[in-house]
Structure 1
Amino acid sequence: MGMIVNTNTAANNAYRNLNNTQKALSSSMEKLSSGLRINRAADDAAGLSISQGLKSQVNGYQVAARNAQDGINVIQTAEGGLNGAQNILQRMRDLAVQAGNDSNNTAARTAISTEAGQLSDELDRLGKSTNFNGINLLDGSANLKFQVGAGSGQSNQISMDLSGVDLSSMASGLKASSTGTQFNVAAFDTGTGAPSGLNASYSFTSSTAGGSKTATVDLSANTYTNVDAFAADLNKNADFSASFSATVVKDGNGAGIGVVVTAKDGGTVKATDAAGADAKGGFVDSTGTAVGSGVVGLDFSTSVGAQKAIDLLDTKIAAVSAARSNIGAVQNRLNSAIDTLNVGQENLSAAASSITDVDMASEMAKFTKDNILSQAGTAMLAQANQSSQSVLKLLG
């Protein structure tokens, strides 16, 4: 091989190897300092794509677990209200049993009715005030969904339906009211279907000292065979539900026998049919006579009334117990969901780690090797640069 100056092949070769070593050394330092095997897409394009998908799932599981815990907090708030409601109903039942004894005189029965009325008011307040983060839980409007998965769709949600739990409506059905403030729908006869005129258009007017409110509900296109469906359609009507509430009255066997319509502003309610006449065909008082007489709700004035009150309160207590059982089951389901989410998060984190995290021991060994090669390459580059100096001797 000739002695040349313009092109130092040995130096170029040493420089190329040193450059590659420096790149590897820089990559190792980046991985060791970050703890990640993949710091940019160029490190592992496929691995980056997979790891980002796993990261989304892991983060989603973390948030979903918090959502589930929030759901448990909501349930515990609702159950606290239902527990208070059950205590109120149990006390009212005790009063009904006490009122069933004819050893009570008029003054004693009045005192019992007064306490029961206060308890009904407290039940109503409880229904309106039990809320979580501004969401009312016990006014019949709560139908909640908890996101307990990292993806979309119903399989990632757990529902809790409290739309059938309306303590305010329950309280209005229990509170003893005088003439004209509430109406009962005539009892359903399973042999003949709904009472005459029940599937018609009705106008409800609530009158107070401050004015009046009116709602018209057209049910003429519907046919009813039970009072529950009729009451449900009344409450579904936006105009009606804004100012009134309908509560089903049940007999001792739990069958719906009537509905109580109450004004939310406490006003006197009047019901008229499509022709403007008093709706006497479907709305009568507890004795079966025309609207405008009798007492609706719990009646402790007689032993017979107290016996009916016991049956009615038993129905309400059973309804609250069923609601508590339902949300208790949902709470257990949420607890199971949290456990599953935690296991899934752990497994997915491990999978992501195997793709993105660097093996520190292996990378350190590689770094040490590249560091030695870097020093050797630098020395060899210096030697290659010196090799052309021998040409000067020929010129001397």
Structure 2
Amino acid sequence: MAMTVKNNMPAKRTLNELDRNAKAMQKDLAKLSSGLKIRSAEDDASGYAISERMDVQINSLEQDNRNAQNGGAMLKTAEGAMQSTVDALRTLKEKAIDSANDTNTNEDRAIMQKQFDQIIDQIDDNAMTTYNGKVLIDGSHNDGITDVATHMTNQNLAEDTTGETSLLELKNRNGEPLRMESSDTITVSWVQNGKTNTVNMPMMHETKTYNDDYDEFDPNSQEYFYGTASYNVNDLIQLAGGTWEYDDSEGKSVLSGAVVELVQNDDSSYIGQNGFGVDVHTADNTAGITFKAKTAGIAGQISGFTISINDSQGNPRKDVNKALEFTTTIFAENASEDNAITLQVGTKANQAVKAGFSDMRAEALGLKTPPPVETLSIATQSDANAAINVLDNAMQRVLDQQTKTGSIQNRLEYTSANLINSSENTQAAKSTIADADMAAQMASYTKNNILMQASQSMLAQANQNSSSVLSLLQ
């Protein structure tokens, strides 16, 4: 090997090795101190991109979980307000049942009415419950719906019952005759916007039918046939607000002006359409008799409909009255924009749970009228009897909404558990890609440290070798 002094190539090569070892050791130190195998795109470009996307996903999942938990807290607040309303309705029904008992005087009922009114006011207070400034169950956060009329259905009567079936021919669901008599009396009570209305009628009503054979030149002829007939099912329903008038087109006396009407459809299980435009049928898809309020929305809702048949002695026909019970199958709603609360629980757009709250104010529950306010009455025995059905319907309405809210709460619990699991699995996947194997990294650091020390020693030796040239120059 030639002896040179201009270029010390052994030292140059040793210095390069020293520099490489120093850089490798610096990387090892950085990975050991951060615990990351991939700290930047320089370490692994594709691995870094995957790791960063996973990091964004993990942060998003954790925020989604916080959203779900906050949503659950909001729903819990709304459900608590509904439970308070259920408790209030329970007390109201107790008062109505008490007032319906004739051991009380009207003076006693007047006292009960005062307490009754205060509890109804409390229901309005419950509806104003807020969460983070949002009023929850006053109808301001309802789903997007159209105007809906009250629909009430009876499935206690025989399946072949129609609107034209005479009350004297009615049968129960088992096909057994109800055995009403022409001497019976009918009481129909309906409550509209908290106001109780009652009509009392005999089982038979006068009929007037035009005589087509009437001869205007015969003074002894009758222009009309007069007689009596029993009410049919349609007549019974239309007693709510209806009055008897002669109809030229029908050629006979008919009820007109009723606030309700029979639902006519070829499918006997059909009830009507809800606010979402979805057809509603009886739960078991068997026949039923359904009527609806003629006016849709809260203003026209029928919050209670009670039929009482008494015999000629004034005693209630219990089996008949039970068979003539109508229950609310579609509740009245005012048209509303879609103001439901959206709970973002996914990492992508539109991955959300929506929670809509129906109007739970006393007016919407049928317990009071719009201003000037008139509350549901229990001031008389008949009013109290009618109020019982109103409170049953109001209770059902609140429980339906409470059940819906509870189901969303339950769903959010599952959502939260899934988000936690997804976050954990994504974190594990990121760890596989980006986390440093500390044992392997420490072994690499130790190796590079030794190599660096060796390089330093060899650099000193290479520099020393160049000085041997001086012995030739002496």
Q: Structure 1 pair 187/229, CA: closer, same or farther in 2 (3 Å)?
A: closer
One-letter amino acid matched to 1:12: K
Matched, 1:98 2:98: yes
- The root-mean-square deviation of aligned C-alpha atoms, in Å, is 3.3
**How many angstroms apart in 2 are the aligned matches of 1:13 and 1:176?**
106
Q: After superposition, where does 1:163-182 map in structure 2 within 5 Å?
A: 173-174=193-194
The 3-state SS of whatever aligns with 2:262 is: coil
Matched, 1:188 2:242: no
Asked if the contact 1:18–1:378 (Cα under 8 Å) also holds between the matched residues in 2, the reply is yes
* Counterpart for residue 139 of structure 1: 138
**How many angstroms apart in 2 are the aligned matches of 1:310 and 1:250?**
8
Indicate the structure (1 or 2) with the bigger Cα radius of gyration: 2
One-letter amino acid matched to 1:140: G
The 3-state SS of whatever aligns with 2:261 is: coil
Asked if the contact 2:11–2:459 (Cα under 8 Å) also holds between the matched residues in 1, the reply is yes
Matched, 1:251 2:317: no
* Counterpart for residue 382 of structure 2: 304
Q: Name whichever structure is richer in helix by fraction.
A: 1
Identity %: 34
* Counterpart for residue 63 of structure 1: 63
Q: Structure 1 pair 322/268, CA: closer, same or farther in 2 (3 Å)?
A: closer
One-letter amino acid matched to 2:414: S
Structure 2: 5+ residue runs without aligned partners?
A: 149-191, 198-240, 242-256, 266-290, 307-325, 334-362
* Counterpart for residue 169 of structure 1: none
CA offset digits 1:193-226 (Å, max 9, x no partner): 9xxxxxxxxxxxxxxxxxxxxxxxxxxxxxxx95
* Counterpart for residue 316 of structure 1: 394
Task: Write out the 4+ residue segments of structure 1 that deviate beyond 6 Å after TM superposition.
Answer: 256-262
Asked if the contact 2:21–2:448 (Cα under 8 Å) also holds between the matched residues in 1, the reply is yes
Q: Structure 1 pair 373/333, CA: closer, same or farther in 2 (3 Å)?
A: same
* Counterpart for residue 343 of structure 1: 421
**How many angstroms apart in 2 are the aligned matches of 1:353 and 1:73?**
33
Q: Structure 1 pair 131/186, CA: closer, same or farther in 2 (3 Å)?
A: farther
CA offset digits 1:51-88 (Å, max 9, x no partner): 11111111111111111111111111111111110111
One-letter amino acid matched to 1:68: A
Matched, 1:383 2:382: no
Q: Structure 1 pair 248/69, CA: closer, same or farther in 2 (3 Å)?
A: farther
One-letter amino acid matched to 1:315: N
| CA displacement at 1:257 relative to structure 2 | 10
Q: Structure 1 pair 229/380, CA: closer, same or farther in 2 (3 Å)?
A: farther
**How many angstroms apart in 2 are the aligned matches of 1:364 and 1:228?**
83
Asked if the contact 1:15–1:381 (Cα under 8 Å) also holds between the matched residues in 2, the reply is yes
TM-score (norm 1): 0.68
**How many angstroms apart in 2 are the aligned matches of 1:127 and 1:82?**
8
CA offset digits 1:310-365 (Å, max 9, x no partner): 00100011111111111111111111111111111111001001111111110000
Asked if the contact 1:36–1:358 (Cα under 8 Å) also holds between the matched residues in 2, the reply is yes
Q: Of 304, 307, 328, which residue of structure 1 is paired with 2:406?
A: 328
Q: Structure 1 pair 175/20, CA: closer, same or farther in 2 (3 Å)?
A: farther
One-letter amino acid matched to 2:262: T
Asked if the contact 1:120–1:174 (Cα under 8 Å) also holds between the matched residues in 2, the reply is no
| CA displacement at 1:143 relative to structure 2 | 4.7
The 3-state SS of whatever aligns with 2:296 is: helix
Structure 1: 5+ residue runs without aligned partners?
A: 145-159, 165-171, 178-183, 194-224, 233-244, 270-295
**How many angstroms apart in 1 are the aligned matches of 2:73 and 2:49?**
37
Matched, 1:73 2:73: yes
The aligned length equals: 296
Q: Structure 1 pair 389/246, CA: closer, same or farther in 2 (3 Å)?
A: farther
**How many angstroms apart in 1 are the aligned matches of 2:425 and 2:455?**
44
Asked if the contact 1:250–1:258 (Cα under 8 Å) also holds between the matched residues in 2, the reply is no
Q: Structure 1 pair 42/175, CA: closer, same or farther in 2 (3 Å)?
A: farther
| CA displacement at 1:186 relative to structure 2 | 5.4
Q: After superposition, where does 1:215-234 map in structure 2 within 5 Å?
A: 226-227=292-293, 230-231=296-297
**How many angstroms apart in 1 are the aligned matches of 2:332 and 2:2?**
116
CA offset digits 1:66-115 (Å, max 9, x no partner): 11111111111111111110111111101110111122112101011111
* Counterpart for residue 283 of structure 1: none
* Counterpart for residue 30 of structure 2: 30
**How many angstroms apart in 2 are the aligned matches of 1:333 and 1:248?**
34
Asked if the contact 1:72–1:331 (Cα under 8 Å) also holds between the matched residues in 2, the reply is yes
Matched, 1:365 2:365: no
| CA displacement at 1:175 relative to structure 2 | 8.0
